[in-house]
Amino acid sequence: MTLAFIWTIQIILVLGLSPLLIGIIKKIKARLQSRQGINLLQPYRDLWKLLHKDEVISTDASWIFKFSPYLIFGLTIFLAINLPVFARLNFPYVGDFLLVAYVLALGTFFLALAGLDIGSAFGGFGSSREMTLASLAEGGLIFSFLVLAIAAKSTNIYAIAGFVSQASVFYLLPIILAAISFVMCLLAENSRYPFDNPSTHLELTMVHEAMILEYSGKRLALIEWAAYNKLFIFAALAAGLFLPFGLSFGAGIFGMLIYLAIFSLKILFIGVLVAVLESTLAKFRFFRLPDLLFTAFILNILAIVLIISL
Amino acid sequence: MAISALPPFNGFFSEWLCFQSLFSGANLGGSLGLTFLLSAGFLAFTSALAAACFVKAFGVSFLARTRSHEAEHAKEAGPAMLSGMGILALLTLVFGVFAGSISGLLAKTSLGLSSLAGSELESVFNFNNLQTPQNFSAVSAPAVFSGLLLAIGVVAAVIYFITRKNKVTANRTWDCGHDIRQGMEITATGFARSIIVIFRGLLKPTKQTSIEYHDDEMRYFPKRQSIDVGRDDVYQHFFYIPLKRVSYWLSEMAKKIQNGNVNLYILYIFATLIILLLITVR
Amino acid sequence: MTPILSQFSYIIAIVVFLSAVGFHLSRKNINLVFLYILQSSAIAVLLFIPAIQEMDFLLLLAAVLTLAIKAVFAPYFFLRLIRRHELTFTSNAYLSLPLTLITLALLAGLAYSHVFKSFVDLSGGNMHAVSLAIAAIFVSIFLSINRRGALSQIIGVLSLENTIVALTLFLGVVDSSGLDIGVSFDIGVWVVIAVLFLSMIYKQFGSLDVSTMKKLKEE
């Protein structure tokens, strides 16, 4: 099984399944609110419609506005290669978690710049809020990886996944704490409740949506798809790092198919978890969010203290 | 982008190496390990806050509409100045992509320094990949750069092919029906205000409002209102001013000793003499 | 101590520790009571194991009594108090949430440090569970220190008792069933009196926040 073949499959998985994941989450949220909800394939139709629409670009925009969607979408494709889907892979030069965290930060950087580029009031404060939340969530994200990295003695995601699948039960408490804070950072970075409302139409409550308010047509399709991909990538990381079951079914075609099925179940579980969390929590006031993010960071430090003394 | 430690520029790889050394220190355990761990946490927060700072700096200076009269009449600099800046910018990218080889060169220079003589440089540089011992982590700079370029290139090509029949028109920014005015854009103060409020225990922000009313007795319709936001200097507030207060207090105490009464001075000399006699003669 | 038993006691220790940390994070009184029920059930499970292993009737009686008083009787009284005076939200803490969590992390570090090394060596197979129980003891004491509401302080003391029982069980110290029965009876009577007292305090001062109880004498 060559490397290129595996990478192609991972890219197709991420690009193809992420709108479905978003559709599932929206459907579950709607059902919990006693609504019918959208069709599961509706996000695909939305992306198709946006790709075939004309665009209107503001006269104030510069090359950053025009270039950012391509960059952000390309980054999610690059990250798709780093996912621990097939953990038998032992290519040690891609898959470092610091790289993953900072490539995500690169995407946020350009999105915030694009929000500033158009010179509207909404884009400005959207960028301000997004950079504030990202700067606080970065520490929590890196440290939840670090908990597992110190336990597994490697920062390669594939090695960490392999370690967690055979860890003794005495690592359970640090892994639980790291998982709780990773879920908090997942909600923060993907603009979900309680950090942001992904389906709001009130500009004063937007963080992520405010920055992309001015985009239209194919660029909006790219940015929306990149946001779906980002949630899928985070879910895949959580599935691979914290729920590492079913990794050892052999390298044949049959084993691969079984592993893909188990992987889809894990992603579905995380999607359901996100939907339930979103339906039960309210969106917090903006200045209560740093408390949440600091909590995530300190839970990680607690987990590392426990691991070092094991 | 290089300062904010974003890949594929050189800042990211130097920060990567920094993190690796802090992580290996965190394995030591005990209070020493905890110090390394907390430093790694501070490093993560610092790089994220630096990214926020440079979004603000770049965005406010260069993007969207101009924010002052001087900026409206700004002209692009001549080719000599541009090429100077351009070469430096290109170097950050080059150092980033070839980080492996350059770190190898730097490691050789540090072997000669006597202060680092006891500790060996622990990293292993393998062609153009950065790798730490015991296979703790590895990252490949050229792979990152080429991967990013390839991904972006493929996306651009595919999208161009799919949407080549679409039109792109230019129009005003969406302004909710009002006219776009200069004050609508966010300023640097506004951008950073959230972060300042979050860390207000350390940064001590100040806000002063003054309002002038049309009718001073009714106070219903303001004529002019101004708000001054500022920030207290952290070092002055926490370090220099308390230091000054302590030294003033000590001087006040010292002042009481020397109050000009001659009898008191003779008493000091006499008391010192007696105490010395009691202590030394046993 | 068989490996399965030590792993199982570690999982129980995790439940006890996480519910102790959960007390600090909860803002509603009802969550405090539910976490206390969870913690007491874990302790009761821990008491059931030697009872079933040795088939001793008195131990079984002690375990059942503990479960009845701590997980049913006491929470019932607390819920009645909460419902009667509508005390939904617990009062503030002295330290803000991040500082509270930093203190908890430091206390956990203290429990795992060299200071308690000798304790841990005593325990034999249950090392991790013992350290975690010591950390949970510190966390419960800190709950009584940090919170202003009287109900939180009572739960802190009860949680302290739970975690000390957990520590003695993990250390393998043989305790007589008579001790357990006596302790449960004490707790039952104490909870009734404390709830009555809390009711009187609430009627007199209007809130359970201890920092508002300044004038203690009638003037």
Give the tens place of pLDDT for each residue, B226-276. 888 888 888 888 889 999 999 999 999 888 887 777 777 888 888 898 888
pLDDT of A24 reads: 94
Q: Is residue B5 a part of any domain in this protein?
A: no
Say whether both B21 and B99 belong to one domain. yes
CB-CB neighbors (< 8 A) of A169 in chain C: 7, 10-11
Instruction: Report, as an integer, the average pLDDT of B51-58.
Output: 90
Tell me the sheet residues that pair with B130.
Answer: B125, B139
CB C23 within 8 A of CB C155: yes
Residue contact C113–A309, C-beta within 8 A:
yes
CB-CB neighbors (< 8 A) of B175 in chain A: 120
CB-CB neighbors (< 8 A) of A52 in chain B: 163, 166
Q: Is residue C59 a part of any domain in this protein?
A: yes
Interface of B with A in 138-177 (CB under 8 A): 138-140, 143-144, 147-148, 151-156, 159, 162-163, 166-175
Say whether both B127 and B214 belong to one domain. no
Nearest CA in chain B to A76: B151
Closest by Cβ to C101, choosing from A298, A306, A309: A298
Residue contact B152–A71, C-beta within 8 A:
yes
Say whether both B111 and B190 belong to one domain. no
CA distance A37 to chain B (A): 29
Res. B119: pLDDT tops 50: no
Q: What is the ipTM of this complex?
A: 0.85
Map residue C18 onto helix, strand or coil: helix
Residue contact B194–A129, C-beta within 8 A:
yes
CB C213 within 8 A of CB C200: no
Residue contact A169–C10, C-beta within 8 A:
yes
Residue contact C132–A301, C-beta within 8 A:
no
**Of residues A41, A15, A78, the one with CA closest to residue A231:** A15
Residue-number span of the structural domain to which C113 is assigned: 3-206
Residue contact A121–B185, C-beta within 8 A:
yes
CB B17 within 8 A of CB B107: no
Residue contact A138–B140, C-beta within 8 A:
no
**Of residues A115, A88, A135, the one with CA closest to residue A294:** A135
Residue contact C131–A302, C-beta within 8 A:
no
Residue contact C14–A172, C-beta within 8 A:
yes
Element (DSSP H or E) covering residue B223: strand B222-231
Residue-number span of the structural domain to which B207 is assigned: 186-232
Angle at A220 between CA A214 and CA A226, to 5 degrees: 125
Say whether both B200 and B272 belong to one domain. no
> What's the CA gap between C151 and C156, in Å, rounded?
9
Closest by Cβ to B185, choosing from A70, A103, A124: A124
Whole-model pTM: value is: 0.84
Per-residue model confidence as pLDDT tens digits over B123-139: 555 545 566 555 566 67
Closest by Cβ to C109, choosing from A176, A291, A305: A305
- Reading chain A (310 residues) residue by residue, the pLDDT tens digits are 567 777 788 888 889 999 999 999 999 999 999 999 888 999 999 999 998 888 888 888 888 898 999 999 999 988 887 776 665 555 556 667 888 889 999 999 999 999 888 888 888 888 999 999 998 998 899 999 888 888 887 777 777 877 887 877 788 888 999 999 999 999 999 989 889 888 888 877 888 888 888 898 889 999 999 999 999 999 988 888 888 776 655 666 777 788 788 888 999 999 999 999 999 888 888 888 998 899 899 999 889 888 877 7
Chain C residues with CB under 8 Å of a chain A CB are: 7, 10-11, 14, 17-18, 25, 96-98, 101-102, 104-105, 108-109, 112-113, 128, 131-132
Say whether both B20 and B120 belong to one domain. yes
Q: How confident is the model at residue B93 (pLDDT cuts 50, 70, 90)?
A: confident
Q: Is residue B167 a part of any domain in this protein?
A: no
Q: What single letter denotes the amino acid at residue C203?
A: K
Q: Is residue B76 a part of any domain in this protein?
A: no
The total number of structural domains that make up chain C: 1
Element (DSSP H or E) covering residue B45: helix B30-62
Chain A residues with CB under 8 Å of a chain C CB are: 169-170, 172-173, 176, 291, 294-295, 298-299, 301-302, 305-306, 309-310
The total number of structural domains that make up chain B: 3
> What's the CA gap between A152 and A84, in Å, rounded?
15
pLDDT of C7 reads: 82
pLDDT of A88 reads: 55
Res. B281: pLDDT tops 90: no
E-assigned strands of chain C?
A: none
Residue contact B163–A301, C-beta within 8 A:
no
Instruction: Report, as an integer, the average pLDDT of B16-21.
Output: 83
CB-based burial label for A111 (10 Å; 0-12, 13-18, 19+): buried
State whether residue B31 sits within 8 Å of chain A by CB.
no
Res. B81: pLDDT tops 80: yes
Query: Which range has the top average pLDDT, A102-106, B182-186, C53-57?
Result: A102-106
Q: Is residue C126 a part of any domain in this protein?
A: yes
> What's the CA gap between C116 and A50, in Å, rounded?
63
Least confident of A244-253, B180-189, C44-53: A244-253
Nearest CA in chain A to C100: A295
Q: Is residue C216 a part of any domain in this protein?
A: no
State whether residue B86 sits within 8 Å of chain A by CB.
no
pLDDT of B118 reads: 43
Say whether both B18 and B112 belong to one domain. yes
CA distance A248 to chain B (A): 23
CB-CB neighbors (< 8 A) of C103 in chain A: none
